[in-house]
Structure 1
Amino acid sequence: MKSTEVNFDGLVGPTHNYAGLSEGNVASLNNAHDTSSPKNAAKQGLAKMKALHDMGMTQGILAPQERPDMYALRRLGFSGSDADVLEAAYKQAPALLSACCSASSMWTANAATVSPSADTENGKVHFTPANLTNKFHRSLEPETTGNILKATFSDTAHFSHHQHLPDNDHFGDEGAANHTRLCAEYGEQGVEIFTFGRYAFNRNMPMPQKFPARQTLEASKAVARLHGLNESQTVYVQQNPDVIDQGVFHNDVIAVGNQNVLFFHEQAFLDTQNFLDEVRSKFGESEFHAIEVKSSQVSVEDCVNTYLFNTQIITLPNGEMSIIAPMHCYENAAVKAYLDELVTLNTPIKHVKYYDVNESMKNGGGPACLRLRVAMTQQELAAVNQHCLMSDAKFDELNAWVDKHYRDQLSLNDLRDPALVTESRTALDELTQILNLGSVYQFQR
């Protein structure tokens, strides 16, 4: 049966700001405390979604989280009116206030791990929201993420939803940012690759020394069990601890795959040759392209600064592949030269298209961070909430929604403004009607 891969991008939330909350994420730390533009960020994200739609791709939309998270602040001991809670948090614990206002759910590569029906034991598409235990501001997301995914993929005949893994560092799970799937065709059984940063129960194994390894092997294996994956088609590989310490906080900052292409830096994995041998063995007879970028071609530092590997590789309707890259790649001479050469080589990648996602890039997320990939048959795609798929009319409707509700600028001082709570809830309540999601937010219940 014909299948397609749909990219579901996260809508940037109304409280998009630069708080520098993500240790190990160089861009996030370098731009901490800058004034953000929620409106520009949302419009940049929508423009990228529309561009892929215009290329003939099926493009999905995922709603953001409710922020500020007043429930978390009250749970942490702040009381009184919303204004009282925000003011007390701003004065007593500004880092907590920033965390509870984070719009980080825009990076839906961290929303969940997804396994298509061709790979799973029960023949359904499986979703497990990431618990994101390594960062407090992201650990607030999983329950609402699960609600949004269930409202988007509600047909139980085709979709299976799991609770996120236990909220413990031993099972730290970062979702699709550390997971990729290779296949000959989207509808055929593929090879699911889980990249992990450390062993939770064996401290003697290699691990980074400067920055945290967010994904554990134990978490990856738990997700594979939940999804009913066949061991003969599943690969676990450890991320190189040295590149984590260089700011490669997720595998999708140093490697990306699509169908029969794996595009990666030579320093991405701890044991590259054995890993590639296992992938080739499990991939089967179909042609497999392992595109390895050497440090002499592009340094790890340039990979991190430009997000060369946090690009999207998409298969166009004509069968050719294109890389969707941020403008940072275009503006870096070494990276631009490499990409210019790549499209001339004997690989399926024939095009590179550059887009402005600077508001996301400054906060530490490139094009690949902004999307969750879901491979589906035509029957499964028809069962998706159709209000969550991009169209010309939906693009206009969402841009008008952003213009109506979003602020042009937001500073850390603005996070104490109680009007921001009302603005955000009003916007999200209207959005749930636009996307036909029902009551996915706590304030709606």
Structure 2
Amino acid sequence: MKSYEVNFDGLVGPTHNYGGLSYGNVASQSNSQQSSNPKEAALQGLAKMKALMDMGFQQGVLAPQERPDVAALRRLGFGGTDAEVIERAAKEAMPLLVASCSASSMWVANAATVSPSADTADGRVHFTAANLNCKYHRSIEHPTTSRVLGAMFADQKHFAHHAALPAVAQFGDEGAANHTRFCREYGEAGVEFFVFGRSAFDTRYPAPQKYPARQTLEASQAVARLHGLKDDGVVYAQQNPSVIDQGVFHNDVIAVGNGEVLFYHEDAFLETEQMLAELQSKLAKVGGKFQSICVPRSAVTVEDAVRSYLFNSQLLSRADGSMLLIVPEECRGNERVWQYLQSLTSSGGLIREVKVFDLKQSMQNGGGPACLRLRVALNETELAAVNPGVIMTAPLYGTLTEWVNKHYRDRMTENDLADPQLLLECRTALDELTQILKLGAVYPFQIN
């Protein structure tokens, strides 16, 4: 039976703005309060989805969240009609309104952790929505994320869904941004690689000094238990605290893996040699041959990696066995990074080609190509059980492009977020989107 890695890309929401909400994310902080272009952001994301589909890769789409999140503001004491809630929040607590309008759910690498059926004890694909409790504006996402994933992967014979972990610091979970799976074939048993920034209970693990470590070891271990993963099929590794303090807020800013290959920066991890040996040993037990590509700091500094998002790229397996790297335009704009990529692809190694995409709207808020997609390994039967409305096709691309052009603004500032009309525009757009994607009622305004 054939198996596939399906990339489900996040559709950028209508309230895409540069709120500067993510402390520790250099791009998010440095572009705070600039004017954004939601329409351009959504179209850039759709263009990437269409391009990968045209290249023969399986591609899906994941719907955005309802924003502003009026219910979240009500829980914080703002009352009255929806319009009055927004007006009062804008007057009394603008930072809370900005947070409730964040379109950060576009970065669906943080939506959940996914384990394919070949790895799990019950032979189903398992999803655990990430609690994202390190940042308030992201911590309010997981209820809707769970409903959307449930509508996409509804067949309980093939798919199992878990609620987010307890929303406390000890179980900080950032989803697939800190999770990679290595395997020989997507439908075969593999090794799941969990990367954490700190331990909540074990003081032997060092912690960063400047920026928060968002993923805990305990959260990763809990997800592995929920998914029924075998000890021989799991490897845990700690991020280097010093790179977190340089702006590497998730592992996918400093490393990316696919198939049997890990592409990583020399300074990405602690105990690197021990980690590589464990990955090699465990993957060999299931018939795989682990390979790694280390980018030396002498060629690309951590600062270069953070500014260019070299590692927040998509590493894709092609039919001929070679690999394709999808990178943002910022990589071409960084002389050292581009020189490294040219030498990498000309060496005849594992990565044979680099394709560049303009994702400026996402990049300026701190998310590159890899942030925009959630990877789900599926066999043919499981893929057939996925809600067909969310699988990208040429007609769906055309429909979504028309939908964006119809409903999205081409300019968004902080003042625009205070406009009660924006909520009505968003709800109208999302109500139409759920019909396009055949999701049913997944948003609070559709349910309540």
Class of the TM-score when normalised by the shorter of the 2 chains: over 0.9
> Which digits, 9 at most, give the CA deviation of each residue in 1:142-201, with x for residues without a partner?
010000001001111110111110111110000000000011111111110000000111
Q: Counterpart of 1:343 in 2: which secondary structure?
A: helix
Q: Does 1:384 align with 2:386?
A: yes
Matches within 5 A, 1:237-256: 237-256=237-256
Match of 2:18 in 1: 18
Matches within 5 A, 1:65-76: 65-76=65-76
CA distance in 2 between counterparts of 1:237 and 1:282 reads 14
Match of 1:296 in 2: 298
CA contact (8 A) 1:262 1:289 kept: yes
Counterpart pick for 2:330 among 310, 328, 331: 328
CA distance in 2 between counterparts of 1:249 and 1:338 reads 23
CA contact (8 A) 1:211 1:244 kept: yes
Deviation at 1:86, TM superposition (A): 1.4
Matches within 5 A, 1:29-48: 29-48=29-48
Q: Does 1:310 align with 2:324?
A: no
CA distance in 2 between counterparts of 1:249 and 1:151 reads 30
Q: Counterpart of 2:89 in 1: which secondary structure?
A: helix
Counterpart pick for 1:364 among 366, 372, 383: 366
Match of 2:175 in 1: 175
The answer for unaligned runs of 5 or more in structure 2 is: none
Question: Quick one: percent identity of the two aligned structures?
Answer: 62
Match of 1:279 in 2: 279
CA contact (8 A) 2:279 2:290 kept: no
CA distance in 1 between counterparts of 2:399 and 2:311 reads 32
Q: Counterpart of 2:42 in 1: which secondary structure?
A: helix
Which one-letter code corresponds to 1:125 in the other structure?
A: V
> Which digits, 9 at most, give the CA deviation of each residue in 1:329-381, with x for residues without a partner?
01111111111111133532111000000000000000000000000001100
CA distance in 1 between counterparts of 2:125 and 2:224 reads 13
CA distance in 2 between counterparts of 1:379 and 1:286 reads 24
The answer for unaligned runs of 5 or more in structure 1 is: none
Deviation at 1:315, TM superposition (A): 1.2
CA contact (8 A) 2:196 2:237 kept: yes
Match of 2:137 in 1: 137
CA distance in 2 between counterparts of 1:196 and 1:85 reads 38
CA contact (8 A) 1:55 1:316 kept: no
CA distance in 2 between counterparts of 1:233 and 1:435 reads 35
Q: Does 1:93 align with 2:93?
A: yes
Q: Counterpart of 2:346 in 1: which secondary structure?
A: coil
Counterpart pick for 2:357 among 352, 355, 358: 355
Deviation at 1:317, TM superposition (A): 3.4
Change (3 A) 1:360 1:171: same
CA distance in 2 between counterparts of 1:226 and 1:159 reads 13
Q: Counterpart of 2:137 in 1: which secondary structure?
A: helix
Q: Counterpart of 1:157 in 2: which secondary structure?
A: coil
Matches within 5 A, 1:92-131: 92-131=92-131
CA distance in 2 between counterparts of 1:197 and 1:429 reads 38
Match of 2:409 in 1: 407
CA contact (8 A) 2:280 2:289 kept: no
Deviation at 1:233, TM superposition (A): 1.2
CA contact (8 A) 1:197 1:216 kept: yes
CA contact (8 A) 2:2 2:187 kept: yes
Match of 1:146 in 2: 146
Which 4+ residue blocks in structure 1 deviate beyond 3 angstroms?
Answer: none
Match of 2:82 in 1: 82
Which one-letter code corresponds to 1:367 in the other structure?
A: P
Which one-letter code corresponds to 1:148 in the other structure?
A: V
Q: Counterpart of 2:355 in 1: which secondary structure?
A: strand
CA distance in 2 between counterparts of 1:304 and 1:376 reads 31
TM-score of the pair, normalised by structure 1: 0.99
CA distance in 1 between counterparts of 2:9 and 2:205 reads 36
Deviation at 1:204, TM superposition (A): 5.1
CA contact (8 A) 1:289 1:347 kept: no
Q: Counterpart of 1:90 in 2: which secondary structure?
A: helix
Which one-letter code corresponds to 1:251 in the other structure?
A: N
> Which digits, 9 at most, give the CA deviation of each residue in 1:46-73, with x for residues without a partner?
0000000000011000000000000011
CA contact (8 A) 2:331 2:338 kept: yes
Deviation at 1:77, TM superposition (A): 0.7
- Over the aligned positions, Cα root-mean-square deviation in angstroms equals 0.9
